[in-house]
Amino acid sequence: MTLPLPIIDAHHHLWNLETGDYPWLNGDKQVDFRYGDYSAIRRDYLYDDFCGDAANQNVVKSVHMEAEWDRADPVAESRWLTGYAQAHDLPSAIVAQAWLDREDIADVLAAHAALDLVRGIRQKPNAASRPEDFIAGAPGSMADPRFRQGYALLADFGLSYDLQTPWWHLGEAADLAGDFPDTQMILNHTGLPADRSAQGLAGWRDAMRHLSQAANVVVKISGLGVPGQAWTVDSNRSIILDTIDAFGIERCMFASNFPVDRLCATYDVIFNGFKAITADFDDDERVKLFHDNAARIYHL
């Protein structure tokens, strides 16, 4: 048992495949996925499952990340989670789904914002699959005028924006953050450093340093699995420390991305890895990384 350090898990999912509508989970076919075959998580994942995975860690609160509910009715997931949280201790906050280029985006944001636990939204913008395929201003990207029109509404509703995109799109993210300084941007999954070659990591590192210049951007250190490789302290130490060095202690937080990252490691492997990598940090710094920063950013 390794309980003492208080943890806010800043990014996890719950789903009920009988009552929820998740095309990628309860559809007939698997979709392309960065971890490959994900058949092992195509089953219900609810409060007891999460608590079982996290039993050896002192998780005191959590942030639920939208789980790609059917886009036709994104508010339905937030309503379900709000009711579910009333019957359980978790989640403590919700990041909801919203597609910023929808004609009715103002209505969608208003419906989300009316729910007490909703703190922000996530849309995964359209992205190139490789750095060399990047096209500036592509439809559905962060530079698309329709996307930006929807993004401009987030501050009006007091909502933050969780961003998941490959690192070669972080220049667009920096531009977006700079143009909308009143909106908190939260970069998911450490900027997705999936390419662990020297060239890939150099590109990721440069992109992260560039984005870190925007004061309204923070980062969740999570999602560090690599298909076919074990999640180890040695393989992830430099990525985690480089991220903290770029963004600073005050703008980083740890998260599990469970049950998705269960495809790569156990909950204990991931969080004990985070603890081992930060073992030389002082107590105040570690509490910020594991608890206080998430509490501040997600208003917990």
| The token pair that represents 218 in the structure block | 């923070």
1 in a structural domain: no
pLDDT reported for residue 28: 87
- The CATH number covering residue 33 comes to 3.20.20.140
CA atoms of 293 and 248, how far apart (whole Å): 11
* Domains: count for the chain: 1
pLDDT band at 219 (very low <50, low <70, confident <90, very high): very high
Tens of pLDDT, residues 179-207: 999 999 999 999 999 999 999 999 999 99
Query: 85 in a domain, yes or no?
Result: yes
Q: Report pLDDT digits (tens) over 272-294.
A: 999 999 999 999 999 999 999 99
The verdict on residue 236 lying in a domain is: yes
Confidence of residue 3 (pLDDT cuts 50, 70, 90): low
Average model confidence (pLDDT) for the chain?
Answer: 96
Give the domain range for residue 16. Answer: 6-297
pLDDT in tens, 242-264: 999 999 999 999 999 999 999 99
pTM above 0.75, yes or no: yes
What confidence category does residue 4 fall into, taking pLDDT thresholds of 50, 70 and 90? confident
